[in-house]
Amino acid sequence: MGDQPHIIELIDQLLGETADNPKLQEKIFDLRDALFQAQQVSQEYALKIKNLEETVAKLKSPAHRVGTVLGAGEEGLYRLVVGGTEYQAAASPEILEKETLQPGDQVALNEGFVAIAKLPKP
């Protein structure tokens, strides 16, 4: 909407220059009120756009596979079963900082078959 302070300064300048014309001043006051209202609406829409962008980003994120921990694997990996197939996979450090994975735990796996989150028990 242009440079907001500059527009307000112009409106104030016009109000000063039209002190002898109340009808014109009334129109300028209406213009100033409309500008403030437009700014408010613009801010509301900007917030809505931001929220929609966040929602779209979440909806575009890939789905995760769900696996079940079978036990410890080799070299710090975990044995997991995903869709009937057994894998050895790493677990992200964020999971392991909180607790170790136990047999029977369900985990979300990313596309690289890395356990990225421990899921709540069903």
Main-chain phi, psi angles of 42, to 5 degrees: -60, -40
Locate 26 and state its tokens: 């009334």
pLDDT of 10 reads 87
Report the alpha-carbon distance of residue 110 to residue 90 in Å, rounded: 11
With beta carbons less than 8 A apart as the criterion, state whether 98 and 74 touch: no
pLDDT grade, residue 3 (50/70/90)? low
pLDDT of 99 reads 82
Report the alpha-carbon distance of residue 18 to residue 118 in Å, rounded: 69
**pTM of full prediction above 0.85:** no
Condensed to tens digits (0 to 9), the pLDDT of residues 44-101 reads 999 999 999 999 888 887 778 999 999 999 988 999 999 999 999 999 988 888 888 9
Answer yes or no: CATH 2.40.50.140 is held by domain 65-118.
yes
